C-alpha cells in the first residue's frame, strides 16, 4: 500500500504536548530508507576508502526482525547528490533515516532538503555520531548547538542521539498509527519554536540480543582495503569506552562503560559471513576489542576449536599499554588467525599524549610495537598532527621518533590525520573556549584538513603532512 500524509494537523492535548496526527486513507505499509551520505571528499576514519556502514546495517536488521520488511540502506560512495536523491525517491519511502558523522552532516542536510522538496511528506530522522555529539554539547555543557541545528534545518524532523535501534523502531511504529510521538523515549525535535527532548533511553545492555547486521544492500564492489590485502569485512562488537581520551567521540555514547558481544556471538557472525558470503578476512573496528582479555581468549579458543582459525584472517584495534604490559595473549591471537593490530599512537610527544588524556607514553608505544612484531603480528597505526600547542620543532621530533619504527619495518601501514574536534568531546569544548577552530561548518571535519589554529600555518602543516606521507 502507498503511505501518504493526507494532511498534518498540529494540535495540543491538555498537557500541551505536541502531537502529530497522521490521517491515512488505507492501512499503512511502511517503507524506510537508511541513508549514509558521503562528505566533501568522501573520506572516513580509514582515509580515502569507503567501508560498510555497520550502524545502518544494524538498524535495518533490527527493523526487519520487528516486522518491517521494506527497509533499504543507501550508501553514497561515488554517486552525485542528484543520483542519490533519484535512488531514494524511486524507492518511495515514508521515513528516511540519516546516519551522519560530523564530516558528512552538511551533505546529509542537503540530501534531506532535496528530498523534502520532491516529496514533502517524507519524515526525516537524523542520528549518528554528530547528532549524539551536539546533543551532549547542549544537555551536558549548556550550549545551544542542537537547538540551533534543528531550527536552522527544518528539513530535519527528528534527531535520535545515542543508539538508534529501539528508538527508531518505536518512532516508526508511532508514526504508523499516528499516535503521540512525544512519548517516544530518546528523540528530540522542535516544538513551539523550542527544542523538546523526550526522556533519555536506557542503553542496550546485551548486544547479543541484536540481530546480525544486514549487509544485503551494500555495494561491495565499491569497497576495498587500504593495503594489498583482500577486502576486509568489518565487524563491530562493542559500544562505549572506559577510557577518557579527550578528542574521541566513542566514550560519549556510553561514558565509562563498555557493552560487548559475547565471544560466542562474534564467532556466530563470522561463521555466518564465511558460509553466506565466503568472507575470510575481517577487521574489528572496535577501539576496545581487546579490553577484556578473557573475552579475547574465549573468542580465540572458539575459533581454534571450531576450525575457523585455519580459514580466516583478522585484525583488530588494541591499546599500546595493554600490549606493553602483557595483558593480551598475542601468541593465542596469532594462532587464532590474527595477523594485524591497529594502535592509536596519535603522537610520540609525551606532553601531547598527556593533554589528549591517552594514558599512554612513548615507551609503551615502543614496547607494544616490538612485542607485536615478535609475535608475528603486523602493526598498523594512526598518527595525528596539527595540535594547537605543537611547535614545528616538537612536531618534527614526534614524526622522526615515529619514523624509527617505520624504517625498522615494525609498522606496516600508517594512517595520518589532522587532529579534529568533534562535538560532545572535551577537546571540542577546549577548542571553542580557546578559539582554536578555524571554521565551524564541519565541511572539513574528515581529518584530512588542518582545521585548528596552531603555531604553524596551514600551508606549512600540509607540506609537512605530505612529506611525511611519502615516507610511511
How does DSSP assign 404-462, residue by residue?
A: HHHHTT---EEEEEE----TTSHHHHHHHHTT-BS--SSTT-SSSS--B--SS-HHHHH
Nearest to 101 by CA among 73, 134, 77: 134
pTM of the model: 0.92
Distance CA 194, CA 140 (A): 18
Say what the pLDDT of residue 468 is. Answer: 98
Say what the pLDDT of residue 255 is. Answer: 74
Say what the pLDDT of residue 253 is. Answer: 78
Residue 423 sits at φ, ψ, to 5 deg, of: -55, 145
For residues 468 and 416, the answer to whether their CB atoms sit within 8 Å is yes
Say what the pLDDT of residue 256 is. Answer: 74
Q: List the pLDDT tens digit at each of the 472 positions of the chain.
A: 333 333 333 333 323 333 433 433 344 689 999 999 997 544 433 445 678 999 999 999 999 999 999 999 999 999 999 999 999 999 999 999 999 999 999 999 999 999 999 999 999 999 999 999 999 999 999 999 999 999 999 999 999 999 999 999 999 999 999 889 999 999 999 999 999 999 999 999 999 999 999 999 999 988 877 676 678 899 999 999 999 999 999 988 777 789 999 999 999 999 999 999 999 999 999 999 999 999 999 999 999 999 999 999 999 999 999 999 999 999 999 999 999 999 999 999 999 999 999 999 999 999 999 999 999 999 999 999 999 999 999 999 999 999 999 999 999 999 999 999 999 999 999 999 999 999 888 988 999 999 999 999 999 999 999 999 999 9
DSSP 281-298: EEEE--TTTTS-HHHHHH
Residue 22 neighbours by CB under 8 Å, 6+ apart: 5, 8, 175, 178
The domains of the chain are located at: 8-197, 225-469
Nearest to 392 by CA among 318, 321, 454, 441: 454
Distance CA 147, CA 162 (A): 17
For residues 472 and 406, the answer to whether their CB atoms sit within 8 Å is yes
Superfamily covering domain 225-469: Aldolase class I (3.20.20.70)
Say what the pLDDT of residue 42 is. Answer: 40
Say what the pLDDT of residue 48 is. Answer: 53
Q: Which three cell numbers stand for residue 58?
A: 544494524
Say what the pLDDT of residue 231 is. Answer: 80
The architecture CATH gives domain 8-197: 3-Layer(aba) Sandwich (3.40)
Amino acid at each position: 500500500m502507498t503511505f501518504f500524509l493526507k494532511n498534518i494537523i498540529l494540535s495540543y492535548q491538555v498537557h500541551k504536548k505536541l502531537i502529530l496526527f497522521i490521517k491515512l486513507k488505507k492501512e499503512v505499509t511502511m517503507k524506510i530508507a537508511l541513508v549514509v551520505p558521503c562528505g566533501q571528499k568522501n573520506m572516513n576514519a580509514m582515509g580515502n576508502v569507503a567501508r560498510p556502514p555497520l550502524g545502518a546495517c544494524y538498524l535495518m536488521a533490527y527493523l526487519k526482525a520487528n516486522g518491517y520488511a521494506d527497509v533499504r540502506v543507501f550508501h553514497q560512495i561515488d554517486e552525485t547528490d542528484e543520483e542519490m536523491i533519484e535512488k531514494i525517491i524511486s524507492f518511495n519511502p515514508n521515513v528516511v533515516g540519516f546516519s551522519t558523522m560530523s564530516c558528512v552532516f552538511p551533505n546529509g542536510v542537503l540530501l534531506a532538503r532535496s528530498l523534502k522538496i520532491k516529496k514533502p511528506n517524507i519524515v526525516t530522522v537524523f542520528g549518528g555520531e554528530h547528532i549524539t555529539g551536539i546533543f551532549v554539547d547542549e544537555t551536558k555543557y549548556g550550549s545551544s548547538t542542537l537547538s540551533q541545528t534543528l531550527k536552522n534545518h527544518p528539513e530535519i524532523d527528528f534527531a535520535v542521539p545515542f543508539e538508534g535501534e529501539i528508538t527508531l523502531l518505536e518512532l516508526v511504529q508511532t508514526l504508523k498509527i499516528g499516535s503521540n510521538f512525544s512519548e517516544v523515549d530518546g528523540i528530540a525535535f522542535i516544538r513551539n519554536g523550542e527544542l523538546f527532548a523526550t526522556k533519555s533511553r536506557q542503553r542496550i545492555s546485551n548486544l547479543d540480543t541484536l540481530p546480525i547486521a544486514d549487509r544485503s544492500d551494500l555495494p561491495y564492489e565499491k569497497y576495498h582495503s587500504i593495503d594489498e590485502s583482500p577486502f576486509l569485512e568489518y565487524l563491530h562488537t562493542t559500544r562505549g569506552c572506559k577510557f577518557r581520551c579527550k578528542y574521541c567521540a566513542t566514550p560519549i555514547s556510553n561514558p565509562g562503560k563498555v557493552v560487548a558481544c559475547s565471544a560466542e556471538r562474534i564467532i556466530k557472525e563470522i561463521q555466518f559471513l564465511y558460509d553466506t558470503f565466503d568472507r575470510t578476512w575481517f577487521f574489528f573496528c572496535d577501539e576496545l576489542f581487546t579490553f577484556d582479555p578473557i573475552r579475547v581468549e574465549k573468542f580465540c579458543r572458539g575459533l581454534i576449536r571450531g576450525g575457523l582459525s585455519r580459514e580466516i584472517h583478522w585484525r583488530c584495534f588494541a591499546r599500546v599499554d595493554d600490549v606493553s604490559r602483557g595483558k593480551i595473549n598475542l601468541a593465542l591471537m596469532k594462532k587464532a588467525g590474527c595477523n594485524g593490530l591497529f594502535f592509536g599512537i596519535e603522537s610520540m610527544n609525551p606532553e601531547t599524549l598527556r593533554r589528549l588524556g591517552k594514558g599512554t607514553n612513548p615507551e609503551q608505544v615502543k614496547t607494544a610495537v616490538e612485542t607485536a612484531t615478535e609475535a608475528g603480528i603486523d602493526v598498523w597505526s594512526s598518527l595525528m598532527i596539527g595540535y594547537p600547542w605543537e611547535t614545528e620543532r616538537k612536531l618534527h621530533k614526534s614524526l622522526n621518533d615515529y619514523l624509527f619504527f617505520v624504517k625498522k619495518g615494525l609498522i606496516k601501514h600508517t594512517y595520518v590525520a589532522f587532529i579534529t574536534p568533534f562535538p560532545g568531546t572535551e577537546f571540542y569544548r577546549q577548542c571553542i573556549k580557546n578559539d582554536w577552530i578555524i571554521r565551524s561548518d564541519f565541511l572539513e571535519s574528515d581529518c584530512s584538513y588542518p582545521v585548528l589554529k596552531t603555531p604553524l600555518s596551514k600551508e606549512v602543516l600540509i607540506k609537512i603532512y605530505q612529506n611525511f606521507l611519502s615516507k610511511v
